[in-house]
Amino acid sequence: MATETRRPLFAGAALQHGAASMLALQLYVDGDDLGALNLYSRRPAAFTDESEHVGLLSAAHAAVAYAAARGKERMSRGLLTQQVIGQAQGILMERHRLTGDRAFALLVATSQRSTMKLRDVAARLARSGELRAVPARSRPERWTRRGRSRHETAETADTDRWSLLVFASSPWPSRSEGDSR
């Protein structure tokens, strides 16, 4: 470290903490840079070619293990996210008699309008039973009934200053109040 010229501030700080030499090995798997394995010694010039060879083998094994653990964690997180979104869809389907696609579309619209991640919107609904949407006074025009077929109805359920817009579809035409079919 005393002869290091590329990073003099780092080398000086390392020397002050007792690191006289260092061997840095990149951790990567199939083009995915995972970080570095840094080995330090209190002796100057402590790392030989053999140390580097053993270090490279260790770094390769560490990179594979770390990549596998990270992949498993991502998969676990993905499954949990999918489960929470499914629970939220089920709540909306049961409560408002929506299809799965419409429930999902409502979750997506709420996520986009509130700038919250879809998984966070779904988790809030699954945890509290409430879907917080756009404030009623700023609801976009395209959420109105305009452009919908005569078989679809748009209903809003106001809760405090928030509105929940639900699109429910029916295979039958709407009946007028006087119609007794």
pLDDT along the chain (181 residues), means of 10: 85 90 90 88 93 94 92 91 94 91 91 89 89 52 44 40 38 42 42
Domain residue limits, the chain: 8-72, 78-169
pLDDT at position 28 is 87
Q: Read off the pTM.
A: 0.51
Give the pLDDT score at 107: 92
d(CA 95, CA 89): 10
pLDDT at 167 (0 to 100): 39
Give me the pLDDT at residue 32, please: 81
What pLDDT sits at residue 171? 38
Give the angle 171-130-105 at the CA atoms, nearest 5°: 45
